[in-house]
Amino acid sequence: MPTIRIKNLDEGHLAFDLKDLIDLLGINALKSLWKCNVEEAIAKDLPLDLIPVYNVPKGIDGQTIAKLASITRQVIDGCFEAYDLHSSDPWIRLAAVDSTYWEIWAKNGNHLEPFRKRFSDVKNVDDYLDQNFE
């Protein structure tokens, strides 16, 4: 399965975060059910523990994930899988790895093109993350 790693930096820090990735996915992201496994994230200007808000076992609708992404300053470690409402397999997986880079896996390689066009430090990854979401 096609996977890319994005490491665009600005002054030593990632120059993007979840909101930017969700925005690039457009309407497909908003129409999906998202299952999240977030270990660490920081909210923007709010005393909010994002972990239980993201880690809802039944998943989060696309509008909600977009809203949560907009109030998230940084995802340090976390994985976000988007599901078509009629499928039991994710069509895309976004994974923040130690606030160092993001890996993006897609069922269809065409879904990776917006990321390749937007970011300059994009590398292909030979294998993809195999997270277990129960």
> Which one-letter amino acid corresponds to residue 119?
F
The span from the CA of 79 to the CA of 112, in Å, is 16
pTM for this prediction: 0.90
Residue 13 lies in a domain: yes
Q: Would you say residue 42 lies in a domain?
A: yes
The parent domain of residue 106 ranges over 3-125
User: For the chain, what is the domain count?
Assistant: 1
Q: What's the start-to-end Cα distance of the chain, in Å?
A: 21
Whether 40 is covered by a domain: the verdict is yes
The H or E element containing residue 43 is: strand 33-43
Binned at pLDDT 50, 70 and 90, residue 126 comes out as: low
Q: What is the pLDDT of residues 34-60, one digit of tens each?
A: 999 999 999 998 889 999 999 999 999
